[in-house]
Amino acid sequence: MNEYMIYTDTGCDILPDKLAEWGVRCIDLTFNKEGETVEYTQADVPTKRFYDLMREGVVFRTAAANELTIKAAIEPALKDGLDVLYLAFGSGLSSTANTAKLTAEELMKAYPGRRVTVIDSLCASAGHGLLLWFAVDAKRRGADMDEVEAVVMKNLPGLCHWFTVDDLVYLKRGGRVSAAAAFFGGMLNIKPVLHVDDAGHLIPMQKVRGRNASLKAIAKKFTETAVDPAHCTYFISHGDCIEDAKKLESMIIAEHGNHAALITDIGPVIGAHSGPGTLALFFVGTKR
């Protein structure tokens, strides 16, 4: 059995210290301020500062990882005689996974005998992160790379993403809602509840009035669809709204006695499109 290294990218919204603890190497996706050419990584702009800038009206744009970036990140592992399993940001939202697959083919030609397996997570934020956690857990239990891949593929179809946003203007910029819907939604305090479908795309599913109602709607989805809601592992991510994240967790605890395995920040790669106040819940369900 060849030794191997698990890779991911910053689309997973797992903080660097946690990735280091898990033994995972990370590829930085980049972003910039609209109208500027300077490319930033997540390490360059503290999350709180990032969301404060968005509240002040700064618009951020994101970029997928290119072939050179992916190659530079992965090649050192191959030189060290390691195979690579890269769990990539979902192709429904980024071209990173497809670029990584092409890059993997070139790297395996350059390093005969080495394997580079790229898995399109079809996930975003800590949904991607939860899928990564399953991979890490399997590796810690002694699974080889093929077995880890099988664990990921088993959990991927049921990896549920349920989330809400505080301000529809950010989804409007990304074409997820119309300008009229964003305007009247803001006037009427409408909060959408969205999920990520089987192809990894963001899909609006429900409209409720008020923040608390949106949190209750998400908690209800957990109760209705989670596999073993009293014991399953779930992650929560948030865009600078930790109190709401804790409130959502408290709803689940009250119903099922199940604490979140991880509450984490939504970083700039996702936050640039969803905005401050985004709140998301991730778990394995009977279906997405």
Same fold across 4-156 and 158-284: no
Cβ burial of 58 (10 Å; 0-12, 13-18, 19+) is middle
Q: Has residue 232 got a pLDDT over 80? A: yes
117 vs 130: CA distance, rounded Å: 19
pLDDT at residue 200, rounded to an integer: 84
Return the closest-CA partner of residue 264 out of 283, 288, 240: 240
State the CATH class of domain 158-284: alpha beta
Residues 74-91 as b or e (16 or more Cβ within 10 Å = b):
bbebbeeebbbbbbbbbb
Q: Are 228 and 122 in contact (CB under 8 A)?
A: no
48 vs 53: CA distance, rounded Å: 9
- The token pair at 92 is 């429904």
Q: What is the pTM of this model?
A: 0.92
pLDDT at residue 213, rounded to an integer: 94
pLDDT-above-90 percentage for the chain: 80
Q: Has residue 177 got a pLDDT over 70? A: no
Fold exhibited by the domain 4-156: Rossmann fold (3.40.50)
User: What band does 184 get if pLDDT is binned at 50, 70 and 90?
Assistant: very low
Dihedral-angle region of residue 127 (phi above 0 means left; psi in -120 to 50 means alpha; beta otherwise): alpha
**Taking the domains of the chain in order of start, what are their residue ranges?**
4-156, 158-284
* Alpha-carbon separation of residue 85 from 14, 131, 236, 272 (angstroms): 17, 13, 25, 27
101 vs 173: CA distance, rounded Å: 29
